[in-house]
Chain A
Amino acid sequence: LAKTTQPISMDSYEGQEVNITCSHNNIATNDYITWYQQFPSQGPRFIIQGYKTKVTNEVASLFIPADRKSSTLSLPRVSLSDTAVYYCLVGDMGGNTPLVFGKGTRLSVIA
């Protein structure tokens, strides 16, 4: 399984765009990149997933360069409610593949 590296923590002011980068140098051909969000005392929830280039949904954008060795989660105009831990996962997500989480990035949004 590809190992991921992401910053331990980040701070941002309300209304700013936040970019969290994840490194995954050993990503395999069949691997997808998935991001989860976790609020205190809750289970993680899926945010976005991609394979290459750019993916956008109502919550975030995911940028993946051509070599796929890193990815960037972009949160537009964050609010206080975006304060959470964000996890980057890499894996083929299908078949008998375990979901392995790292320590995540703790984002603190300040008013």
Chain B
Amino acid sequence: DVKVTQSSRYLVKRTGEKVFLECVQDMDHENMFWYRQDPGLGLRLIYFSYDVKMKEKGDIPEGYSVSREKKERFSLILESASTNQTSMYLCASSSPHDTTGGGTEAFFGQGTRLTVV
């Protein structure tokens, strides 16, 4: 059973703390993504990575950074957490290779609900 695992389901942090959200996938996927989801705003892309040590900014990278030292692991870092970063964070992975005769499918983790107080 393919799996994308996020390290925490719920997390509470204080304003100003450095926060690490970890994501691990076991499918040998090249592409990995971090999103945040807020009511009424859908999923918004923060960063994505298409290879080890590679990263690209998404639509809302401000206040975040990422690390991809190994293919299976993609970390989202909040350098100094703020209350407006309280949100649901979702990690996903996909392969760029054509596996279905067409496009490819992305797999998501269960999400981390982060509360910054």
Contact = CB atoms under 8 A, between A and B. Distances in A.
Interface stretch (B12-20, B37-45, B63-71, B75-83): B37-45
A100 B106 CA distance: 11
Contacts of A93: 94, 102-104
Interface in B60-117: 90, 92, 94, 96-98, 100, 102-111, 113
Contacts of B111: 41-43
Contacts of B33: 98-99
Contacts, number: 77
Interface string A95-110: 1111111111000000
A34 B92 contact: no
B105 A43 contact: no
B11 to A, nearest CB: 15
B59 A51 contact: no
Nearest to A95: B96
A102 B45 CA distance: 10
B43 to A, nearest CB: 4
Interface of A: 32, 34, 36, 41-46, 49-51, 87, 91-104
